[in-house]
Structure 1
Amino acid sequence: MGALLHRLLLKEDPSIYQLKDGSLDPTLTTIDLIGLGTGMVVGTAIFTLPGIVAAEHTGPAVPLAFIVAAVGAGLSALAYAETSSVLPFAGSAFSWMNVLFGEFFGWVAGWALLAEYFISVAFVASGWSAYMQGFLASLGIKLPVALTGGFNPGKGSYLDLFAALAILVVGWLLSHGVHQVSRIENTIVAIKLLVIILFIAVGLTAIHPTNYLPFIPPHKPGTTFGGWSGIMAGASQIFIAYVGFDAIAANTAETRNPQKIMPRGLIGTLVLGTGFFIAVSLVLVGMFKYSRYANNAEPAAWALRQAGHNFTANLLSVVALIGIFSALIAILLASSRLIYAFGRDGLLPRFLGKINHRHVPNRALWTITFLAMILGSIFPFTFLATLVSAGTLVAFIFVSLGIYALRKREGQDLPEASFKMPGYPVLPAISAIFSAFIFWNLNVDAKLLMVGWFVIGLLVYFTYGIRHSVLVNRQN
C-alpha cells in the first residue's frame, strides 16, 4: 500500500516539462491571448446562453447570474494567473498538479479538464449549428430533420451535420500552426465585438420596461426557477462561458514571456467578457418576456427578427456563424494541447505526444477532432452545456488549492511569480469554496455524469496510465 501511495504522489520535475515543451513555438502575445480567451468567453455562450438561462432559471435577473459566475471565475482567474506565470507548461492544470501534488492528482485534474474541453468543443459546434440552421431557414432553406440535431428519435433527429462539419473545418485550420490561426482569431473577435455592440445599440430601441418586472421572479417550489436559488442555478450553467480561462492557460508553452503576458491575457479576458455578457443579457430580457426564449439556441438573432430588425438579425447571424468559429478555434486548440500533454507523459498512448515539423501536436489534434465530431453531432445542446460546467469547476478547485503548494516552493525550486494572487492565504480558499458551491448547485444529472466520468478516468489510469507513465518508469 505504501509503495502504491508513493507512486501516486510522485511529482514531476518542472525542468523536464520545459525540455519536452521546447519544440512548441512560443509566438502568442497579449493580444493573441485576449483574442483566444474572448473568442471562447464571448463566443457561443453570449449568443445562446442568456435566453436559455433566463427562461429556465432566472427570469430577467440573468445579468445577476453572470455577475455571480464572474466573481467565482475571477477568483479562479487570479489563481490561474499566478500558477501559469510560474509553471509555463502545456496542459495547464494537468501539468501544474503533476508538479505540485503528484501524478495521480495531475491525472484527476487533467481528466476533469478533458471533460471540459471535449464537451466544450461539441457544445460550441452545436450552438454554431443552431445559428446556421436559423440563418438558412430565414432564406427558406431547411435540412432534413434527421440531420438537424442530436440523437432524439422522438423529434426525428439523429445527427447534427453542421456541428460535425464545423469541428472538422477548425481541426484542419489548426493543423497549419498556431501563429497563422491566431491572426484569423483576432480578426474574427474584433468583428464579433463590433456586431455585439450593434446588437446592444439596436436592441435598446426595442426595450419594454415591463419585461424586467419582477426582476427576480419568486421561486417555484420543486424547480430551479426563480429567487436566488434560480440565480445560483443559472450561474452554475453559465460557468461554461468562463472555460476560456483554462483555454488560455493551456497555451502557456506557446506564449512569449508567459510570466508577464499570461496574467494580462487572463484578467483582460475576464473584464472584457463579463462586461459584454451583462450588457447583452440586459438588452435581451428587456426586448421580450424571458419565457419566450425557452429552448431557443439563437435568442439574440430571434429577438431582432421579432422586433422587425431583419437586416441586423441576419448580420448578427452571419457574424455569429463566423464568430462562434473563434470559440471553436480556442477550445480545440486547448484540448489538443491537453491530449498532447497526456501522451507526452505516457498516461495515454505516447504517439499523442508527438509534434510535427510545423510545431503542432497533430496526432493529438486529429484525435480530439474526430471524437468531438461524434459527440457534437449526437448529443443535444443543453445536455452538453450542463456537463461541461462540471469539468470547469473541478479544474478551478484544483488550481485554487494549488496556490498553497505553489507559494511554499516559489523562490526555492520554482521561480518567484511575476503576478501573485492577492489576499493570500484567504482568497485561494474562498475561490475553491465558491467553485465547490457552484458545483453543488449543478443539476443531479451533471453530478452523476461527472462521477461516471471519473470512474472511467480511474480505470484508464490504473489499467494503462500508471503502467506506461514516463515519470514512474523514470523513477524505477
Structure 2
Amino acid sequence: MIFDRVKPLDAILATAEKKGLQRTLGAFQLTMLGIGAIIGTGIFVLTSEAAQKAGPGMMISFLIAAAVCAVAALCYAELASMVPVSGSAYTYTYAVMGELLAWMVGWALILEYAVAASAVSVGWSGYFVGLLASWGIVLPDALVMGPYAGGIMNLPALLIALLITCLLMIGTTESARVNAVLVAIKVTALTVFIVLTLPVIKGANFEPFTPNGWFGAGHGAGLGIVGAAASIFFAYVGFDAVSTAAEETKNPQKNVPIGLIGSLGICTIFYLLVAAGAIGAMGSQPVNGPAGEILAPGTPALAAQCQSLLAMGQEPLVCSREALAHVLREIGHERLGDMIGIAAFLALPSVILIMLFGQTRIFFVMARDGLLPEFLSKIHPKWKTPHIVTMITGSVVAVFAAFLPVGQLADISNSGTLFAFFMVAIAVLILRRKQPERHRPFRTPMVWIVAPLAIFGTLGLYLNLPTEAKLVLPVWGSIGLVVYFLYSRGKSHVGRGIIDVHEDDPDAPPQPVPPIRD
C-alpha cells in the first residue's frame, strides 16, 4: 500500500508538548504578525503585472484572491492549532493523509517558498535600480534584466539572494522589534501613497474597467480579472504565519480567527486603496501589441513594446518595475517616489529572509524524516544553523532570480501554494470524519462550507494561472514522484519503523513509532 504510512499524530503532539510554549500572543500581535508577513512584493511590484492582465478591474482581482485566502486560512488554522510544530502543510498532511501525499505537498512547497524568494529578489532589484536611476546612477540593462527583457542577467537580484543566504547561514534572524519596524515602514509607505494619489484620481482612468474581460477575452488562461486574481494571490501569501503561531496564542479559539481575518482584511483594504490610487492617478490600461493583440506580462513581446513606448517618452504603469514609486514620480512627487523606493529597498529583504528560512525549515524536517538525504539536516558546529541546505537552497534561488521575470516567478510560486492550501482543506475534512473527538484549540467555523469553498477556490485560481505556470506543477510533481520511489520511500524513517523528533530537540535519539490510535 502506498497510502499506509501515516506519521502518528500522537507522536507529533508529544514533540509539541516538549516545547512548553507560553501562550503570550493576543489578537493585536497576531494581526501585526500577519500584516508583516503579507505586505511585500505583491503590492509593491505586482500591481503593474495585474494592470497588464486586468486593467482597472484588478481591484476585483484583489477581492477574489482575498476571499480564497480567507477560507483557506480558516482551514489552515485548525490544523496548525492541532499540530503546532514545524513543517507547515507538509507535517499536517503527513499526520492525516500519509507519507506519499505529504511528500508531494513538501515537494510543492518548494515552489511556494524558494520560487517566491526569487520573485521577491527580482522585485527588490526593480526598486533598487529605480532608486539609483533617480539619483543619476544608471546601471546597464544587460546587468539588471534577464534574457526575457533583452538583458543578460539580473545581477542585483542575484546578489541580494546570495547576501540573505549568507546571513541565514551564519544565524542571523529577525527579532520581533526589527519586524515591527519593518511593518511600520511598509504601512507608512503605503499610507503616504494613498494620501497623495486619492485626491488626484480621475474617473476617466477607470474606463474601460475590464479591458480584457473576466477570463482574457478568449486569449488564453492567465489574463483578465480572474487571471489577475490568480497572480495577485501572491500578494497575500504569508498569512499562514498567523496560523502557525496558534500554540503561542492566548485563547486561540477567538484570537486566531481575529488575527487571520484581521490581517487579511486590513491588507485587502490597503491593497484596494493603493490600486485605486494607482489607477485613478496615472491609469492602468494594458499595453497591446502592434496589431492590437493582448500581451502577457513577462514576455519579450511586452518588453519590446514597452521599450518602444519609452523611446517615445512614455512609460505606462504596466511597464514599470517599481510601480508605486513610478506613479508618485509621474504625478510630481519625485522625492516621495524615492521614499517609496527606499521603503521597498529596506523592507523586501526581510520577506526574502522569511521565505528562505521557511524553505530551509521544510527541507530540514523532510531530511529528519529520512525523505531527503540526512546530510541536509546537519547543523554547523559554530553557527548552529542547517548551513548545507541553506547554501544549496539560496544558490538555486539566486539563479532563478537572475534569469526569470517577477511575474512568471510569482505565478510558478502560486501553483505550489495553491496545491498546498488545497491539500490542507481536504485534510481538515478527513480529520473531522476520522477523529471527530480529538481536541481542536481552534475549529474552522462551518467547516463543511468553508473547506469546500477553499478547495474549489484554490482549484479555480490554479486553472486560471498562465499555461506555463500550470504545467510546472504536474511536471515538478512527476519529478518528485520519481525521487520519492527511487530514494525517499526506501529511506523513510516511518517506513523503517522509527520516527525522528523535530529540530526543537535535535540531540534526542530516534524513537520507535507508537501505536496508531484509531
Report how far residue 44 of structure 1 moved.
0.7
User: Is contact 1:248-1:334 (8 Å) kept?
Assistant: no
Instruction: Go from structure 1 to structure 2 and tell me whether the alpha carbon gap of 1:22 and 1:368 turns closer, same or farther (over 3 Å shift).
Output: farther
- 1:433 aligned residue: 456
Identity of aligned residues (%): 31
**Structure 2: any 5+ residue segments left out of the alignment?**
286-315, 499-512, 514-518
Report how far residue 257 of structure 1 moved.
4.5
Separation of aligned partners in 2, 1:258 and 1:405: 27
Aligned partner letter, 1:296: S
Match of 1:256 among 248, 261, 269: 248
Match of 2:444 among 396, 421, 424: 421
- 2:351 aligned residue: 327
Instruction: Go from structure 1 to structure 2 and tell me whether the alpha carbon gap of 1:404 and 1:460 turns closer, same or farther (over 3 Å shift).
Output: same
Match of 2:376 among 352, 357, 375: 352
* In the alignment, structure 1 residue 371 sits paired with structure 2 residue 363: no
Instruction: Go from structure 1 to structure 2 and tell me whether the alpha carbon gap of 1:66 and 1:302 turns closer, same or farther (over 3 Å shift).
Output: same
User: Is contact 2:56-2:209 (8 Å) kept?
Assistant: yes
Report how far residue 88 of structure 1 moved.
0.8
Separation of aligned partners in 2, 1:443 and 1:279: 27
Instruction: Go from structure 1 to structure 2 and tell me whether the alpha carbon gap of 1:179 and 1:378 turns closer, same or farther (over 3 Å shift).
Output: closer
Instruction: Go from structure 1 to structure 2 and tell me whether the alpha carbon gap of 1:146 and 1:16 turns closer, same or farther (over 3 Å shift).
Output: farther
* In the alignment, structure 1 residue 129 sits paired with structure 2 residue 125: yes
Separation of aligned partners in 2, 1:184 and 1:273: 20
Mean Cα deviation higher: 190-199 or 327-336: 327-336
Separation of aligned partners in 2, 1:125 and 1:73: 23
Separation of aligned partners in 2, 1:175 and 1:221: 47
The total of aligned residue pairs comes to 462
Q: Deviations over 1:338-369 (max 9, x none)?
A: 11121121111113234567764444333322
User: Is contact 2:212-2:225 (8 Å) kept?
Assistant: no
Instruction: Go from structure 1 to structure 2 and tell me whether the alpha carbon gap of 1:9 and 1:32 turns closer, same or farther (over 3 Å shift).
Output: farther
- 1:241 aligned residue: 235
Match of 1:141 among 128, 137, 140: 137
Which structure: greater helix fraction? 1
Aligned partner letter, 2:366: F
Aligned partner letter, 1:277: Y
Mean Cα deviation higher: 91-100 or 17-26: 17-26
User: Is contact 2:12-2:83 (8 Å) kept?
Assistant: no
Aligned partner letter, 2:142: A
Separation of aligned partners in 2, 1:203 and 1:320: 18
Q: Deviations over 1:4-34 (max 9, x none)?
A: 43xx431002344356678989699566655
Report how far residue 470 of structure 1 moved.
1.0
User: Counterparts in 2 of 1:162-177, with a 5 A limit?
Assistant: 162-175=156-169
Mean Cα deviation higher: 72-81 or 106-115: 106-115
* In the alignment, structure 1 residue 108 sits paired with structure 2 residue 94: no
Report how far residue 66 of structure 1 moved.
0.3
Report how far residue 424 of structure 1 moved.
2.3
Mean Cα deviation higher: 358-367 or 185-194: 358-367
Separation of aligned partners in 1, 2:74 and 2:365: 23
Aligned partner letter, 2:476: W
- 1:282 aligned residue: 276
Report how far residue 258 of structure 1 moved.
8.5
Instruction: Go from structure 1 to structure 2 and tell me whether the alpha carbon gap of 1:218 and 1:267 turns closer, same or farther (over 3 Å shift).
Output: closer
* In the alignment, structure 1 residue 230 sits paired with structure 2 residue 242: no
User: Is contact 1:51-1:285 (8 Å) kept?
Assistant: no
Report how far residue 179 of structure 1 moved.
6.3
Separation of aligned partners in 1, 2:193 and 2:369: 46
- 2:362 aligned residue: 338
Separation of aligned partners in 2, 1:181 and 1:334: 16
Q: Look up the SS of the partner of 2:495 in the other structure.
A: helix
Report how far residue 235 of structure 1 moved.
0.5
* In the alignment, structure 1 residue 69 sits paired with structure 2 residue 70: no
Match of 2:406 among 365, 375, 381: 381
User: Is contact 2:146-2:402 (8 Å) kept?
Assistant: yes
- 2:305 aligned residue: none
TM-score by length of 1: 0.89
User: Is contact 1:397-1:432 (8 Å) kept?
Assistant: yes
Instruction: Go from structure 1 to structure 2 and tell me whether the alpha carbon gap of 1:264 and 1:468 turns closer, same or farther (over 3 Å shift).
Output: farther
**Aligned Cα root-mean-square deviation (Å):** 2.8
Match of 1:462 among 485, 489, 492: 485
TM-score by length of 2: 0.82
Report how far residue 321 of structure 1 moved.
0.8
Of the two, which has the highest radius of gyration? 2
Q: Look up the SS of the partner of 2:238 in the other structure.
A: helix
Separation of aligned partners in 1, 2:174 and 2:472: 37
- 1:297 aligned residue: 321
* In the alignment, structure 1 residue 393 sits paired with structure 2 residue 390: no
Instruction: Go from structure 1 to structure 2 and tell me whether the alpha carbon gap of 1:91 and 1:471 turns closer, same or farther (over 3 Å shift).
Output: same
Q: Deviations over 1:216-255 (max 9, x none)?
A: 33636432699xx711111111111222134555x559x6
Q: Look up the SS of the partner of 1:422 in the other structure.
A: coil
Aligned partner letter, 1:445: E
Q: Deviations over 1:310-356 (max 9, x none)?
A: 11101100001112123212222221211112112111111323456
Instruction: Go from structure 1 to structure 2 and tell me whether the alpha carbon gap of 1:252 and 1:409 turns closer, same or farther (over 3 Å shift).
Output: farther
Separation of aligned partners in 1, 2:277 and 2:256: 32
User: Is contact 1:82-1:421 (8 Å) kept?
Assistant: yes
Separation of aligned partners in 1, 2:98 and 2:217: 44
Instruction: Go from structure 1 to structure 2 and tell me whether the alpha carbon gap of 1:353 and 1:14 turns closer, same or farther (over 3 Å shift).
Output: farther
Report how far residue 305 of structure 1 moved.
0.5
Aligned partner letter, 1:423: M
* In the alignment, structure 1 residue 159 sits paired with structure 2 residue 156: no
Instruction: Go from structure 1 to structure 2 and tell me whether the alpha carbon gap of 1:143 and 1:314 turns closer, same or farther (over 3 Å shift).
Output: same
Instruction: Go from structure 1 to structure 2 and tell me whether the alpha carbon gap of 1:44 and 1:185 turns closer, same or farther (over 3 Å shift).
Output: same
Separation of aligned partners in 1, 2:242 and 2:36: 10
Report how far residue 263 of structure 1 moved.
4.8
* In the alignment, structure 1 residue 51 sits paired with structure 2 residue 52: no
- 1:42 aligned residue: 39
User: Is contact 1:168-1:373 (8 Å) kept?
Assistant: yes
Q: Look up the SS of the partner of 1:417 in the other structure.
A: coil
**Structure 1: any 5+ residue segments left out of the alignment?**
none
User: Is contact 2:44-2:323 (8 Å) kept?
Assistant: yes
Report how far residue 42 of structure 1 moved.
1.1
Separation of aligned partners in 1, 2:114 and 2:489: 23
Instruction: Go from structure 1 to structure 2 and tell me whether the alpha carbon gap of 1:309 and 1:434 turns closer, same or farther (over 3 Å shift).
Output: same
